[in-house]
Structure 1
Amino acid sequence: MRKIKSLGMLLLSFTLFFALSLHFQPAKASAAVQTTKTPVVFVHGLTGSDSNFALIKGYLRTQGWASNELYAIDLPSKQGHQELNSAAIQRFVDNVLSQTGSTKVNIVAHSMGGANSLYYILNKGGASKVDKLVTLGGANQLTTRVAPQGIDTTSIYSTSDYIVRPYLSKLYGANNIEIRGVSHIGLLSSYQVNSLIKTALQE
């Protein structure tokens, strides 16, 4: 009987110790993921997906960006529907801001993703939530010919791009960067382009 009572007391003591140790453990990080850099949102083009930016994201991680600072959206309209995709970008950006506690994002967009991102900025409240916009072979002039005011805009395009011709990518007031020898799809896997993206995001 004494053994059972002693065992019971031992179990009770252990339970109390365990509960107290949990109570006084340091608080864990909150649900919001704190970031040191402005979060980057990647926006794909026609028939694309969020996986299109795997190589660029991998490169940026080697350059100091954390995984929780890099977010790629999978757009609902693979045909680039402006209203549908800009609304999706709006929701996605708001979610990223909520998750990270940041007040703004940077956007890196490829092809029709450039036009969709510009539409979001100009028509869906994105002007106050985007710090920098970088387009890669962006079909930008399908939305506007002028870089959005107050947003640091860089348009990178290639003379070897036969899908979105350079004239469609150029924006008045943007930092327009012309390169050679890189195809439209190649803009997503070029070390030269990666370096230009890094510079644009750091300026």
Structure 2
Amino acid sequence: MKNKLFTKKIFLSFFMLLTVITFNFGFVKPAYAKTEHNPVVFVHGLGGASYNFVFIKNYLMQQGWSQDELFAVDLPDKILDIGNNSINGAVLNNYVNNVLRQTGKNKVDIVAHSMGGANSLYYINNLGGNSKVDKLVTLGGANRLTTFEAPRGIDMTSIYSLNDTIVSNYLSHIQGAKNIRIYGVGHIGLLNNNNVNSEIVKALQS
């Protein structure tokens, strides 16, 4: 009887060990489950809206970002006026604070299009965003309407196109940023181009 109980215990122990080994080494988790990113906040330009980034969001999800890591703000001031930066900057400040509370993260990455670049830089330089933003990526950003230099301590990438007829390359090029000039893409096309999307991923992963 004792021998049977001993044999049974050995068998159960072996079975449990085999189960642990199979779970740890035989079960392959999806790639996105193994990685965690900063939340990405998308900031639209004049006349734009949060839905402008649907193609970029889908591309990022294909590259391993979770939908729960992607956020897009709707800014109230959609015209170019004297209060655009201050009004939109304040809204962006509140939005980022809410994203950080929701995700439990310390910093966000920002991907901004057109005037959204200037609004984001204003928020970073004037409203405390420098301590809450890790990376800033602008697409055809009207960056120099706010500053000529990349914010200190923030990894900034400015992607713009020679064929942009709405925001001049001069306004997009920022000292201290990684400036990437591409060809054959219009201003709106920066929002739905696979080459641009690839550069965004590189910037966010750098």
Give the aligned residue type for 1:136: L
1:83 paired to 2:86: yes
Give the aligned residue type for 1:76: P
Q: Percent sequence identity over matched residues? A: 63
Residue pairs, 1:11-22, within 5 angstroms: none
CA distance in 2, matches of 1:87, 1:53: 21
1:116 paired to 2:119: yes
Give the aligned residue type for 1:176: N
Q: List alignment gaps of at least 5 residues for structure 2.
A: 1-34
Q: List alignment gaps of at least 5 residues for structure 1.
A: 1-34
CA deviation after TM superposition for structure 1 residue 36, in Å? 1.7
RMSD: 0.8
1:58 equivalent in structure 2: 58
2:192 equivalent in structure 1: 189
1:161 equivalent in structure 2: 164
1:97 equivalent in structure 2: 100
Deviation by residue 1:121-156 (Cα, 9 ceiling, x = unmatched): 000000000000000000000000000000000000
CA distance in 2, matches of 1:162, 1:78: 19
CA distance in 1, matches of 2:85, 2:179: 23
CA deviation after TM superposition for structure 1 residue 79, in Å? 1.3
Aligned residue pairs: how many? 169
CA distance in 1, matches of 2:74, 2:134: 21
Q: TM-score, normalised by structure 2?
A: 0.81
CA deviation after TM superposition for structure 1 residue 159, in Å? 0.2
Q: TM-score, normalised by structure 1?
A: 0.82
CA distance in 1, matches of 2:157, 2:177: 6
CA distance in 2, matches of 1:152, 1:166: 20
**Secondary structure, aligned partner of 1:47:** coil
CA distance in 1, matches of 2:140, 2:129: 21
**Secondary structure, aligned partner of 1:198:** helix
Give the aligned residue type for 1:173: G
CA distance in 1, matches of 2:159, 2:169: 9
**Secondary structure, aligned partner of 2:59:** helix
CA deviation after TM superposition for structure 1 residue 111, in Å? 0.1
